[in-house]
Amino acid sequence: MTAVALSRVPVDLRPLVDSDVDAVLALDARVHPNTWSSKFLRSQLANPTTRTNLVAEVDGQLVGHAALLVVVDEGHVISVTVDPDRKRSGIGTVLMAALCRDALVRGLSALTLEVRVSNEPAIGLYQRFGFAPAGIRKGYYTDSAVGGREDALVMWAHDIADPAFSNRVDEAINRAGGGPTDG
């Protein structure tokens, strides 16, 4: 487990395990109009060579999770989800930094993700990590609550092996108020 000391909240990061699935799905139901199934989420845990799945806890309570899919030499950020009651506390930064560091350890060359065009705080977070807009996926997100669709902004971070990327990850953590500690 990795403890991350942030000025706003101490966060424990660890790999997502099967016993976390129900809590992750409950959190997702609070955040996303459509959620993954427990079967899909468990299938992601069965592929650690091509998947990174993390949970963030505060005082033993699950407050966020994040996932990375590895495809050849690139990573795709599948999800960064934070408890709505904990938004703007640095948890998303900690989760994103962990995924970026994992991508570096794996020797990946680039990272990509999609984010709702309306999710300005998340877009800002990803930009702090060096992600840049690369395009729009029209109607990518289905919003079952209102029966509509929302576009996704596609973002890329290229050349992540460049030391500048690692420096941006460190800077994002420093701006959030801390960094990893032994734990």
**Catalytic entry in 57, 74, 120, 126:** 126
Rounded to an integer, what distance in angstroms lies between the CA atom of residue 80 and that of residue 172? 15
CA separation for the pair 34, 37 (Å, rounded): 9
Percentage helix, strand, coil for the chain under 3-state DSSP, each rounded to 5: 35, 40, 25
Three-class secondary structure of residue 27 per DSSP: helix
Are the C-beta atoms of residues 129 and 122 closer than 8 Å to each other?
Answer: no
**Is 114 in the active site?**
yes
The answer to whether 99 and 91 are in contact (CB under 8 A) is: no
> Which of the residues 57, 74, 114, 171 is marked catalytic?
114
Q: Is 126 a catalytic residue?
A: yes
Strands (E), the chain: 2-5, 10-15, 51-58, 61-71, 74-82, 110-116, 132-143, 148-157, 179-181
Catalytically annotated residues = 114, 126
